[in-house]
Structure 1
Amino acid sequence: MFAIMGATGRIGGAAALELRRRGRAVRAIIRDPAKAVALAEAGCEITVADIGDTAALTAALGGVEGVLAICPLNPSRGDATAEARVSIGSLAQALEAARPPRTVAISDYGAQHATGTGVTLIFHHLEQRLAAIPGIAFLRSAEHMQNWARSLRAVTATGVLASLHHPLDKRFPTVSAADVGVIAADLLDAAGPPPRILHAEGPERTTAYEVAAALAGPLGRPVEAVALPRGQWDQVMAAAYLSEDYVRLITELYDAHNAGRIEVEGGDIRRGTTPLAEALAALVRPAA
């Protein structure tokens, strides 16, 4: 059996369903039982445990052959970094007590850097804290294609895609979140132990211009990519109900992106299969 944390999210949900598709037993670890209907219908064992409840999480991780470890971030809380560090500490204690033979922990591109990467520093800390866990592997995810959903309302209203990626023709790694889950399931279900550090990104890298073009089709209108001036980042992100601390973290992250620091470490890249246009079209349909 495999224990999947965050099983109602995009990554955890895709991993759980992929393992069930392969006929593998899955324990879906969730916080809200009301969101577990699809997982239960797929044959998952449902276990309720919050990452902050070390005792409950330890019990949920016990007796399995592999764990997908996901540390949630809350962009609306006052101090996202402090909250994440508490969650990481609880996760580490639970893994140390439960001792699963194999753990795949979701991390982030750029997690090798100890300074100057904003949100990604949380995942640097996660890797440092979990490094001594036996059988641990870190799957560093590129920026999720689904993150562009935050821009949909403004793009639909104005036809302008305001990008924090500068310059607009700079290619950057991106991946569908569901593909990260499928890659994680493959690593958990593999015959041998996975490499210590792996990276997940999509079939090809993209640019802000290509994101705008991919949105234009399903929206049924032209979309122009515009580099949002650096001095306007805070104002725009605050309007999206992000906490002041999280705005700072995102600002530092995109400064690092634009400096070329959010990159792979080594050459082990696992590629998802979902094209950018397909992922963005799926975002537009429910929004419409």
Structure 2
Amino acid sequence: MMIIMGAFGHVGSEVVKALLREEQEVIVVTHDPGHAWRWEGTGAQVALADVNDPDALRAVFRQGRRAFLLNPPAAVDGDTDKTERRTVARLLEALKDSGLGEGGGRVDQRRPSRRAPGRPECALGA
């Protein structure tokens, strides 16, 4: 099972579509129950969890073996660096003891983001 965060945006939705074309099992994560209809009838499951709730995210992550995680963008009317660093920290907290990455996967916090030098980035892969 593949867990996808960001499945309602441009990049994440294409990742989900590609996985579904390959007949992969997919869980898309959203904090907004009003978004669930977008994946109805596609074969994707929808899980409700907020990036600010690491325990809820961890419960979703435990259902998967791999993940594609996009850090949600911060509102531009606030301190975007502070907000996005906080959400990355919560994603990393949710990954602990989730079972994702076991069997050869890794969590890499060292790779800098190409969009904003110096920002932490979470990548989970084989």
TM class by smaller structure: 0.7 to 0.9
Query: Contact between 1:68 and 1:104, CA under 8 Å: does it hold in 2?
Result: no
Q: How does 1:1-288 map to 2 (within 5 A)?
A: 1-101=1-101, 102=105, 108-109=113-114, 120-121=116-117, 124-127=118-121, 130=122, 136-137=124-125, 193=126
Output the amino acid matched with 2:97.
Answer: A
CA distance in 2, matches of 1:99, 1:9: 26
CA distance in 2, matches of 1:74, 1:66: 25
Query: Contact between 1:51 and 1:57, CA under 8 Å: does it hold in 2?
Result: yes
Give per-residue Cα distances to partners, 1:246-273, cap 9 Å, x unaligned.
xxxxxxxxxxxxxxxxxxxxxxxxxxxx
Give per-residue Cα distances to partners, 1:77-106, cap 9 Å, x unaligned.
31001111110110001112213124688x
Query: Contact between 2:65 and 2:99, CA under 8 Å: does it hold in 1?
Result: no
Q: Whose helix proportion is higher, 1 or 2? A: 1
Query: Contact between 2:113 and 2:119, CA under 8 Å: does it hold in 1?
Result: no
Give per-residue Cα distances to partners, 1:97-138, cap 9 Å, x unaligned.
213124688x742xxxxxxxxx603xx4323xx58xxxx35x
CA RMSD of aligned residues (A): 2.3
CA distance in 1, matches of 2:4, 2:65: 11
Structure 2: gaps of 5 or more residues:
none
- Normalising by structure 2, what TM-score? 0.82
**Against the structure 1 CA distance between its residues 46 and 76, is the aligned structure 2 distance closer, same or farther, given a 3 Å change threshold?**
same
Query: Contact between 1:3 and 1:64, CA under 8 Å: does it hold in 2?
Result: yes
- Residue 33 (structure 1) shift: 2.2
SS in 2 for 1:7: coil
Query: Contact between 1:29 and 1:49, CA under 8 Å: does it hold in 2?
Result: yes
- Residue 27 (structure 1) shift: 0.5
Between the two proteins, the alignment pairs up a number of residues equal to 120
**Against the structure 1 CA distance between its residues 58 and 47, is the aligned structure 2 distance closer, same or farther, given a 3 Å change threshold?**
same
CA distance in 2, matches of 1:25, 1:78: 37
CA distance in 2, matches of 1:54, 1:77: 24
Structure 1: gaps of 5 or more residues:
110-118, 138-192, 194-288
CA distance in 2, matches of 1:96, 1:125: 20
Structure having greater relative contact order (Cα 8 Å, sep ≥ 6): 2
CA distance in 2, matches of 1:104, 1:40: 31
- Residue 75 (structure 1) shift: 4.2
CA distance in 2, matches of 1:125, 1:80: 11
- Normalising by structure 1, what TM-score? 0.38
CA distance in 1, matches of 2:55, 2:97: 9
Identity percentage of aligned residues = 25
